[in-house]
């Protein structure tokens, strides 16, 4: 009887594992937010993936919504820019003489300050918060430019790979652009990602700053969906390809201006003979394009912000120091203070002294009671 039971149990487990190894269904991939090309192949891999789903609680982000709800217009910036830290904003090196050292990428301060005018900037890193926070506090000391910070607990695991699943972001994904150095981080949403080469400490690097014209043009022209634009530039050197497109648009703008200028000049010449009336032809250089106008406005805004920060640096440093000191003062000094309800144990001498004091008080109460009696 026992052998039969074990046999039936083994058969049922075998059938169950065989069923778990079946081909992926379209609805299943949609629920997992996986594209077919990224789904595990082979019966054994599919079985492992489905068994892992049974224990998927620890593989998902800590929250179902990683960001708070957007601010109401006009306070919320229309687009969100996700930025990684490692080898994109900074790089870390280690040697026996100095230990770990972290270097900022050339132009990173300007990049964050300038691009934050156009985007809700969110740093999304696979680092734990206790290693990332010191770096971010150096990059954005006064919390002016980085709106939100997401750490390791905001990621999920797929087949052992750390993934930044944007379905948990709580933002309209048609308005989200992600900068990263590892394409696997966005395997669930590659259409939102721009993958840059890793920065390894080259002091002459300009790749990060070179992304600004492309990113600002998206925010300035306000497309309904950024994903088709990003897809059109996939696999290309974005700064170079975009510079070509902008140069073509500028040339077209100048050509149209020349045609209009020629028409205005001709009509003005004809007006001398009473044939028509028209305004005088423009002189000098062609007017700036709409993009150039907005870019100049953003540059002026950036300069004004930097002047404000520099003029008020001492005051902000003092306020920041006071805030940090207040946090230290509010922090519990021990586990007993943290839990509040637990009393700190006293030393044996203290307990004995308290017992003697209670005994003396009891004797006094008895004497008072005897006198009253």
Give residue-wise pLDDT tens across range 73-132: 878 899 999 999 999 999 988 888 888 888 999 999 999 999 999 999 999 999 999 999
Residue 159, number of CB atoms within 10 A of its CB: 16
Residue 339, in any domain of the structure: no
Residues 276 and 292 reside in one and the same domain: no
Q: How far apart are CA 86 and CA 52, in angstroms?
A: 29
pLDDT value for 100 = 80
Gyration radius of the chain's alpha carbons? 33
What's the whole-number mean pLDDT along residues 290-314?
Answer: 95
Q: How far apart are CA 64 and CA 167, in angstroms?
A: 9
Q: Which tops the pLDDT comparison, 98 or 352?
A: 98
Residues 126 and 231 reside in one and the same domain: yes
Q: Where does the pLDDT of residue 198 fall: very low under 50, low under 70, confident under 90, or very high at 90 and above?
A: very high
pLDDT value for 299 = 96
Mean residue pLDDT across the chain = 82
156: CATH: 3.40.50.1000
Judged against a pLDDT cut of 60, whether residue 175 lies above it is answered with yes
Q: How far apart are CA 157 and CA 58, in angstroms?
A: 9
**SS3 of 123, please?**
strand
Residue 114, in any domain of the structure: yes
Residues 231 and 109 reside in one and the same domain: yes
| CA neighbours closer than 13 Å in the CB half-sphere of residue 363 | 5
What's the whole-number mean pLDDT along residues 211-232?
Answer: 96
pLDDT value for 253 = 92
Torsion of CA 227, 69, 180, 247, to 10 degrees: 50
Residue 7, in any domain of the structure: no
Burial class (CB in 10 A: 0-12, 13-18, 19+), 346: exposed
Residue 365, in any domain of the structure: no
pLDDT value for 62 = 86
Residues 115 and 256 reside in one and the same domain: no
What's the whole-number mean pLDDT along residues 23-31?
Answer: 71
Q: What is the extent of the structural domain holding 138?
A: 79-235
Could you identify the residue written with the tokens 């309209």? 172
Residues 245 and 218 reside in one and the same domain: no
Residues 191 and 271 reside in one and the same domain: no
Residue 362, in any domain of the structure: no
Give residue-wise pLDDT tens across range 265-296: 544 444 444 444 444 434 678 899 999 999 99
Check: CB of residue 76 under 8 Å from CB of residue 168: no
Residue 97, in any domain of the structure: yes
Q: Which tops the pLDDT comparison, 288 or 159?
A: 288
Residue 346, in any domain of the structure: no
Residues 258 and 226 reside in one and the same domain: no
Give the number of domains in the chain: 4
User: Of all residues in the chain, what percent carry a pLDDT higher than 90?
Assistant: 54
Residues 317 and 212 reside in one and the same domain: no
């Amino acid at each position: 009887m026992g052998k039969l039971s074990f046999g039936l149990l083994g058969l049922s487990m075998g059938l169950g594992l065989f069923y778990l190894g079946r081909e992926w269904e379209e609805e299943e991939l949609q629920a997992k937010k996986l594209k077919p090309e990224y789904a595990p192949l082979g019966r054994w891999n599919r079985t492992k993936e489905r068994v892992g789903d049974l224990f998927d609680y620890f593989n998902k982000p800590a929250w179902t919504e990683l960001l708070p709800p957007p601010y109401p217009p006009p306070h919320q910036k229309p687009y969100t820019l996700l930025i990684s830290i490692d080898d994109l904003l900074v790089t870390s090196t280690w040697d026996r003489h100095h230990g770990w050292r972290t270097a900022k990428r050339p132009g990173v301060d300007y990049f964050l300050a300038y691009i934050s005018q156009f985007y809700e900037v969110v740093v999304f890193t696979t680092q734990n918060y206790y290693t990332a926070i010191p770096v971010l506090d150096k990059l954005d000391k006064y919390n002016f430019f980085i709106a939100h910070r997401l750490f390791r607990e905001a990621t999920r695991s797929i087949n052992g790979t750390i993934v930044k699943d944007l379905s948990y972001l709580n933002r309209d994904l048609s308005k989200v652009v992600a900068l990263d150095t590892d394409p696997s981080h966005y395997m669930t949403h590659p259409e939102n990602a721009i993958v840059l080469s890793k920065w390894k400490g080259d002091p002459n690097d300009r790749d990060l700053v070179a992304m600004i014209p492309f990113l600002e043009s998206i925010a300035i022209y306000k497309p309904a969906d950024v994903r088709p634009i990003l897809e059109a530039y996939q696999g290309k050197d974005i700064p170079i390809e975009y510079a070509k497109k902008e140069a073509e648009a500028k040339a077209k703008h100048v050509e149209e201006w020349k045609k209009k200028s020629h028409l205005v000049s001709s009509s003005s010449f004809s007006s001398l003979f009473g044939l028509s009336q028209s305004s005088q032809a423009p002189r000098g250089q062609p007017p700036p394009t709409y993009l150039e106008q907005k870019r100049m406005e953003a540059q002026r805004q950036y300069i004004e912000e930097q002047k404000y920060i520099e003029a008020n640096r001492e005051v902000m440093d003092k306020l920041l120091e006071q805030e940090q000191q207040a946090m230290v003062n509010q922090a519990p000094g021990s586990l007993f203070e943290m839990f509040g309800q637990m009393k700190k144990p006293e030393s044996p001498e203290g307990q004995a002294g308290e017992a003697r004091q209670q005994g003396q008080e009891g004797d006094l109460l008895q004497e008072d009671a005897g006198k009253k009696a």
